[in-house]
Amino acid sequence: MPVAAAVSASTVKWTRKHLLGLEELSAEEITLILDQAEEFKRLASRGETKLKALSGTVVANLFFENSTRTKTSFSLAAKRLSADTIDFSAGGSSLSKGETFIDTARNIEAMGANQVVVRHSTPGAPLLLSQHVNASILNAGDGTHEHPTQGLLDVFSIRERVGHVKGLTVALVGDILHSRVARSNIWGLTKLGAHVIVCGPATLIPPHIERLGVEVAHNFDSILSRCDCVNLLRIQFERQRSGLFPSITEYSHLFGMNGDRLKKSKSDIVILAPGPINRGVEITPDVADGRNSVILDQVTNGLFIRMACLYLLHQQQNPTAV
């Protein structure tokens, strides 16, 4: 099918070379990505799964941290748009021989990469890369800073299930302190007019976070009845020092989503989790697999969000491309 048919009907034009975070995007730019992803999803539902939009280009996935969902869906998204792909993982690479992060990226770029997707444990690593390579950079998660495509797919999944985002009350529950997903959700949701509550133990909520325009709560049960959506964030054991909460059992008791809490919630509450989920910690299996959960829809939608991001950045760099 002609690629032009996949172009969003939105009148806003994408002008950015890189996708580094949702903080710098306007509501219109976020909506443009969501609309483009919706269009790709609609085309896929009609069997239009292979588009030629990125034919002749190379998308490199540079992952310096582990990933299941983000890495595979960026790779599939690039293939669905007919790009060639390079999948790089830090393990087994020449990083162990002393090659630097920037040299690694510049060598991958020298193989012809037009777009570089990067995940790194250091906040700001994608921004740094954007200053040292010519390719477009897409942030696939940088430390505790941002995970823009996760924020976009979360907002997309809410909009898809509810029909709109404006006016909704969305709680982000858990480890806000170490969560790049929380930050991207906060930017994306508040820009589209949702009321965001961050909820967790005081030790896992960053000081002054209310300056981002969110409500802060430490008692999950006290906010539950107001929530239209709850996004359950994983405890990031790999990023935190010990002693931030007494025990996993106590955390789960106070902040875990379970059948009892679901019964006290709105009947159509939307349950999200970015994954990977720790069953029995932030969410019990009955809720994770129940009718209110959109956890696997989020994964499906991640493919279309990443297609949209790759497509819009490519269009910006190649304005005459169809």
Q: Are 232 and 257 in contact (CB under 8 A)?
A: yes
Q: How far is the CB of 276 from ligand CP (least distance, A)?
A: 6
Determine if 67 is a binding residue for ligand CP (CB under 6 A).
Answer: yes
CA 104: distance to chain centroid?
Answer: 24
Determine if 61 is a binding residue for ligand CP (CB under 6 A).
Answer: no
The continuous run of DSSP H or E covering 304 comes out as: helix 295-317
- Smaller CB separation from ligand CP, 213 or 276: 276
Q: How far is the CB of 246 from ligand CP (least distance, A)?
A: 27
Q: Are 230 and 271 in contact (CB under 8 A)?
A: yes
Figure out which of the listed residues 70, 75, 136, 185 binds ligand CP, where binding follows CB under 6 A: 70
Q: How far is the CB of 177 from ligand CP (least distance, A)?
A: 17
Instruction: Walk across the sheet containing 115-120 and list its strands.
Output: 84-89, 58-63, 115-120, 136-142
- Smaller CB separation from ligand CP, 253 or 279: 279
> What is the DSSP pairing of strand 195-199 with strand 169-173?
parallel
- What string marks each residue from 257 to 286 as x (binds ligand CP by CB under 6 A) or -? -----------------xxx----------
Amino acid code (one letter) for 112: G
**CA nearest neighbour of 71 among 294, 287, 276:** 276
- Smaller CB separation from ligand CP, 201 or 274: 274
Size of the site for ligand CP (CB under 6 A): 10
Figure out which of the listed residues 26, 49, 68, 134 binds ligand CP, where binding follows CB under 6 A: 68
Determine if 69 is a binding residue for ligand CP (CB under 6 A).
Answer: yes
Q: How far is the CB of 67 from ligand CP (least distance, A)?
A: 3
Q: Give the footprint of ligand CP on residues 140-199 (CB under 6 A).
A: 141, 147, 150
- Smaller CB separation from ligand CP, 151 or 256: 151
Amino acid code (one letter) for 313: L
Determine if 93 is a binding residue for ligand CP (CB under 6 A).
Answer: no
Strand partners, 19: 138
Phi, psi (degrees; rounded to nearest 5) at 2 = -65, 135
Determine if 300 is a binding residue for ligand CP (CB under 6 A).
Answer: no
- Residue found under tokens 């409500």: 215
CA 58, CA 115: separation in Å to the nearest integer?
7
- Smaller CB separation from ligand CP, 126 or 274: 274
3-state secondary structure 103-114: HHHHHHHHCCCC
Point out which residues bind ligand CP (CB under 6 A). Answer: 67-70, 141, 147, 150, 274-276
